[in-house]
Structure formats: structure tokens, C-alpha cells
């Protein structure tokens, strides 16, 4: 028995070595090298200067196309749930109902916890934004390919890896916070919100930087075919999933925290009368 | 613009976001929240009604226990009253019975006395009559000895007739004897 096991192990090792050598020979062949330079690829991933998509004569970044596609996907899914699932909701929820209720309940609870005074609009906003960031980030996993104006094949990226998308999201969140401040405290709320004037920039660039870093790492990995084995499973799927969750949580949490801060009702501080020392 | 920032595309992204937020709010967030609120209210209502029923049951339990305590007290009070009443009735009855017994005894004594008196009186009258008749006969007869003898005979015959009772016929008696017997019967 022992000799037989040793034989099996020995032959397996030999087979693995042979396989590794074959893979090495194939990978070092000039046929599989990319025609584009890595610096050009990464620069285009950041700036989208070359690979734009033509939509009815309008030159849009691939990120914008992704954004509208994500919106369509989300709205269709929501409409299907609204039409087919919600009317069948029962008091004792099933698995799907539980999942939907958990997502809605989580955003609602987050809004109520961070902004106890005014939260109905905030809950709706962070629900929409959260769904958008999460689905948009996972969208890059699907790998929808379009043809760019230059004739290259472009895989649609996450919408927020486009700087315009990230700026839009950051500024919209800032406007939502500002609106909460105005509705709750009027001009005082405006003052409170404007105090954090760096907020839209920090929110936008945080999102952009986080998602772009993921995109760049993916580009880097996929550029070299030698790295295309096993590693993309970790980089492409696990990192993207984690990324989606983390970015959703960060933006939603920040928005609700600042919203709660500016919408907090103003309370007049009791004036402390300075006691004048009575000279005797 | 640096970093390929495009205001038109930012506005397009904003429009997309607004459409998405409004759409998701109307299609998903609002109906699900409404359903959850409805269910929460239903459970709250059920909880309130259960709590109210529990409170009601508790209040009733307290009421019944207090009433039960009152009833026990009342029962013991009634029992005491009944015992007292029973004792009164018993003493009254005893007194009444004793009174009736006394009355019966006294009336029986009275009647016995009367009977005794009547018997005594009847016997003395008979004796007087016998004596009177004998004396009359003695006077009517000539000699004292005869008279005495007649008296004795008469007395003897009277006594015999008295002792013989119903066995003997009265026909053999004299007129005087018949009178004595008739009086005795009376």
C-alpha cells in the first residue's frame, strides 16, 4: 500500500511539472502580448480620452453608458418586484421577501439612527444611492463590451469609476444634505452645511479614487496574461464584492451622518450671566 | 477640463441619479415600507388588545378574589347569625315545650284531683245513702237486733254485689241493692 501511494504521488508531481512547463512556454510566446502599452491602457481607464462611446452623435464616456444601463436594470428589477412580488407579501415573510425587507429596513434604520429628527427623505435617498453604488460596482463583473468611437472593444466599467459620475454622486449627496439643513433650520442649516464646503469634493474623489483603484488593479491584472490564471477570481470577484459593500456603506453612512447633523433642531444655549465680583 | 471632467456628462449623471432615486423610491422603498408599517401596526394593535385583555383579566381576577374574600366573610357572618338564631329558636322551643309540659302536667293534676274528689264524693254519698237506708230499715223494723241483722245482710249483699261485678245478675238484689248499684255505676 505504501509503495503504491508513493508511486501515485511521484507521477502526480511529474505531471504537474510538465503542465507548468507547457503553460510557461505558451505564455512567453510573443503572440499573447498586448498591442497597447500598459501606461496607455491605464491612462485611458482614468481619463477616457480615447475610448468614448457614440450615443446618437453624443460622445459619452463608457461610465455614463454603464450608469444608464445600471439605472435601467435597477428600475426594471424594482418594477418586477413591485408588480409580482410585493402584492404577494405575507405577514410571515419568505426568503425573497425577507431579503427585500432587510435591505429596505437597513437603509431606513440607518437614516433613523443617524438623523432622528428628519429622515423620511434621507431614507429614500440613501436607499437609491446605496443600490446604485452597489449594483454599479458589481456591474463591471458582467463585462458588457461595446465598440468605442475609435473602433476598439471597450468593456463597460463601473459607473463611478468615471470621474463625472463620481462628481455627480458627491454633489448630489451634498445637495441632499444642504436641503435637509434648509428644511430643518433655514439659513442656519445652510450655514452649517456650507461649513463643510469640502464635503462634496471629498465625497466625490473618495468614491472616484476607490473605484478607480479597483479598475486600475483589474486593468493591470488583465493586461498581463500570465496573471490571468486564478488571480482574477480573487481580484475580480472578491475584491469587487468587498469594494461594492464598502463604498456603499461609506457614502451612505457619511451622507446620513452629515444630514443628521445639519437637520438637528437648533437649541438656544442658556446665557450664563457673568457674575461681577462685588468689591466690598 | 483637467481629468476629462465634462459638465454635460456630470449633468447627465445627475439626471440619471435623480431618475433612479425617484424610481426606486416609488417602486420599491415606499411600498415595502408601507407594508412593513402596516404589519408593525397590526402587531402593535394585537399586542395592545392582548395587553388590554390581560389587564381586564387581571382586574377581574382581583375583583373576584376580593369578592370571594367578602363572600367568605359574609358566609361566616351568616353562619354566626344562623347559629345565633337557631340557639334562640331552640331556647324558645324548649321554653315553650317546658311550658306546655307544665301546663299539661298541671291540667292532668287538676283533672286527677277532680276525678279523685269526684270519686271520693261519690263513694261517701253511696255510703251515706246506704247508711241512711239501713237506718230507715232499722227504724221501720221492730227490733234492734233485727234491724242490725238486716243492716248486716244488706251491707253484705251490697258488698257481694259490688265484688261480683258483672258476673252476677242484679235481679236477685233487693230494691235497695239496686239503688246502691245504680249510684255506683254513676
Residue B181 within any structural domain of the chain:
no
Residue with cell 442656519: A188
Q: How far, in Å, are A163, A209, B152 from residue B9 at the CA level?
A: 10, 18, 179
Query: Where in the sequence is the domain holding B103, given as residue range(s)?
Result: 2-140
With a cut of 70, say whether residue A83 has pLDDT above it.
yes
Measured between beta carbons, which residues in chain A are less than 8 angstroms from residue B25? 124, 127-128
Nearest to B12 among A64, A100, A163 (CB): A64
Model confidence pLDDT, tens digit, residues B130-148: 888 888 876 776 566 666 7
**Considering its fold, how many domains does chain B have in total?**
1
Which of A114-123, A136-145, A210-219, A264-273 is the least confident region? A264-273
Q: How confident is the model over A224-230, as a mean pLDDT?
A: 69
Instruction: Work out the average pLDDT over B19-33.
Output: 95
Contact yes or no for B3 and A46 at CB 8 A:
yes
Q: For residue A252, give Cα distances in angstroms to A14, A131, A157, A163.
A: 54, 10, 22, 19
B155 lies in some domain: no
- How close B40 gets to chain A, by Cα (Å)? 10
Rounded to whole angstroms, the Cα distance separating B183 from B186 reads: 5
DSSP-assigned letters across all residues of A47-98: H-SS--EEETTEEE-HHHHHHHHHHHHHHHHHHHIIIIIGGG--SS--HHHH
A58, A145, A167 from A62: Cα distances, Å:
12, 10, 16
Interface membership of A79 toward B (CB under 8 Å): yes
Distance (Å) from the alpha carbon of A47 to chain B's nearest alpha carbon = 6
If you average pLDDT over residues A159-188, what whole number do you get? 87
Give percent of chain A with pLDDT exceeding 70: 89
What is the pLDDT, as a whole number, of residue B168? 47
* Chain A CB contacts of B4 below 8 Å: 47-49, 61, 163-164
Cβ contact (<8 Å) for B29 and A71?
A: no
- Cell digits of residue A131: 443600490
Q: What is the DSSP string of A231-259?
A: HHIIIIIIIHHHHHHHHHHHHHHHHHHHH
- Inside any domain, residue B33: yes
Chain A, chain B: beta-carbon pairs less than 8 Å apart: 112
Closest CA to A101 of B17, B171, B172, B39: B39
The verdict on residue B113 lying in a domain is: yes
ipTM, 2 dp: 0.79
Between CA A224 and CA A60 the distance in angstroms is 28
Chosen from A122, A125, A128 to mutate, greatest number of chain B CBs within 10 A: A128
Mean pLDDT, all residues of chain A = 83
pLDDT at A178 over 90: no
Q: Which of A241, A163, A250, A243 is nearest to A204 (CA)?
A: A163
pLDDT value at A194 more than 50: yes
pLDDT digits (tens, 9 = 90+) for B59-92: 999 999 888 888 888 888 999 999 999 999 999 9
Nearest to B20 by CA among A159, A251, A212, A115: A159
State the virtual CA torsion across A238, A241, A246, A251 in degrees, nearest 10.
150
Which chain B residues touch A131 with a CB distance below 8 Å?
20, 24
Give dist(CA A232, CA A72) in Å, integer: 28
From B16, B23, B21, B20, select the one nearest A61 (Cα to Cα): B16
Longest dimension (CA), chain B: 200
Question: In degrees to the nearest 10, what's the CA dihedral of B14, B20, B25, B27?
Answer: 160
- Nearest chain A residue to B38, by CA: A91
Distance CA A278, CA A272 (A): 17
The answer to whether residue B118 sits within a structural domain is yes
A23: confidence class by pLDDT, cuts 50, 70, 90? confident
Q: What's CA A153's distance to the chain center, in Å?
A: 23
- C-alpha distances out from residue B13 to A66, A114, A173, B20, B78, Å: 10, 27, 13, 10, 92
Q: Which pLDDT score is estimated for A267?
A: 76
Higher pLDDT, A195 or A225: A195
Domain annotation covers residue B175:
no
Delimit the domains of chain A by residue range.
Answer: 36-262
Rounded Cα–Cα distance for residues A40 and B139 (Å): 197
Is B153 domain-assigned? no
For A:123-152, CB contacts with B below 8 A are: 123-125, 127-129, 131-132
Has residue A241 got a pLDDT over 60?
yes
Distance CA B90, CA B79 (A): 16
Amino acid at each position: 500500500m505504501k509503495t503504491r501511494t508513493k508511486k501515485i504521488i511521484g507521477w502526480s508531481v511529474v505531471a504537474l511539472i510538465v503542465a507548468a512547463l507547457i503553460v510557461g512556454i505558451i505564455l512567453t510566446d510573443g503572440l499573447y502580448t498586448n498591442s497597447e502599452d500598459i501606461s496607455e491602457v491605464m491612462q485611458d481607464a482614468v481619463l477616457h480620452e480615447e475610448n468614448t462611446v457614440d450615443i446618437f452623435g453624443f460622445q459619452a464616456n463608457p461610465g455614463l453608458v454603464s450608469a444608464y444601463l445600471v439605472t435601467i436594470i435597477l428600475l426594471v428589477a424594482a418594477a418586477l418586484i413591485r408588480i409580482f412580488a410585493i402584492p404577494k407579501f405575507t405577514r410571515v415573510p419568505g426568503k425573497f421577501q425577507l431579503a427585500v425587507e432587510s435591505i429596505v429596513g437597513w437603509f431606513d434604520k440607518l437614516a433613523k439612527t443617524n438623523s432622528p429628527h428628519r429622515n423620511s427623505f434621507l431614507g429614500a435617498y440613501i436607499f437609491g444611492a446605496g443600490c446604485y453604488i452597489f449594483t454599479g460596482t458589481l456591474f463591471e463583473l458582467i463585462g458588457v463590451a461595446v465598440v468605442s468611437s475609435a473602433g476598439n472593444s471597450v468593456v463597460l466599467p463601473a459607473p463611478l469609476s468615471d470621474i463625472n459620475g463620481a462628481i455627480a454622486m458627491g454633489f448630489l449627496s451634498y445637495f441632499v444634505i444642504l436641503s435637509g439643513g434648509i428644511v430643518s433650520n433655514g439659513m442656519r442649516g445652510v450655514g452649517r452645511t456650507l461649513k463643510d464646503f469640502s464635503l462634496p469634493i471629498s465625497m466625490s474623489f473618495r468614491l472616484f479614487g476607490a473605484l478607480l483603484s479597483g479598475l486600475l488593479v483589474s486593468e493591470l491584472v488583465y493586461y498581463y496574461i500570465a496573471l490571468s490564471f486564478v488571480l482574477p477570481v480573487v481580484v475580480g470577484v472578491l475584491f469587487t464584492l468587498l469594494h461594492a459593500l464598502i463604498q456603499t456603506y461609506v457614502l451612505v453612512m457619511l451622507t446620513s451622518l452629515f444630514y443628521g447633523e445639519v437637520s438637528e433642531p437648533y437649541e438656544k444655549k442658556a446665557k450664563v450671566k457673568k457674575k461681577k465680583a462685588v468689591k466690598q | 477640463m483637467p481629468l476629462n471632467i465634462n459638465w454635460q456628462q456630470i449633468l447627465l449623471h445627475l439626471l440619471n441619479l435623480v431618475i433612479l432615486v425617484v424610481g426606486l423610491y416609488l417602486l420599491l422603498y415606499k411600498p415595502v415600507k408601507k407594508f412593513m408599517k402596516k404589519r408593525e401596526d397590526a402587531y402593535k394593535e394585537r399586542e395592545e388588545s392582548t395587553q388590554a385583555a390581560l389587564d381586564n383579566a387581571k382586574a377581574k381576577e382581583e375583583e373576584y378574589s376580593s369578592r370571594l374574600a367578602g363572600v367568605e366573610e359574609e358566609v361566616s357572618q351568616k353562619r354566626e347569625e344562623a347559629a345565633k338564631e337557631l340557639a334562640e329558636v331552640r331556647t324558645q322551643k324548649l321554653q315553650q315545650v317546658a311550658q306546655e309540659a307544665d301546663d299539661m302536667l298541671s291540667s292532668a293534676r287538676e283533672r286527677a284531683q277532680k276525678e279523685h274528689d269526684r270519686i271520693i264524693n261519690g263513694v261517701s254519698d253511696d255510703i251515706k245513702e246506704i247508711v241512711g237506708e239501713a237506718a230507715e230499715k232499722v227504724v221501720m223494723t221492730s227490733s234492734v237486733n233485727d234491724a242490725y241483722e238486716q243492716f248486716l245482710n244488706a251491707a253484705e249483699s251490697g258488698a257481694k254485689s259490688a265484688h261480683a261485678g258483672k258476673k252476677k245478675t242484679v235481679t236477685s238484689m233487693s230494691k235497695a241493692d239496686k239503688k246502691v248499684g245504680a249510684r255506683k255505676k254513676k
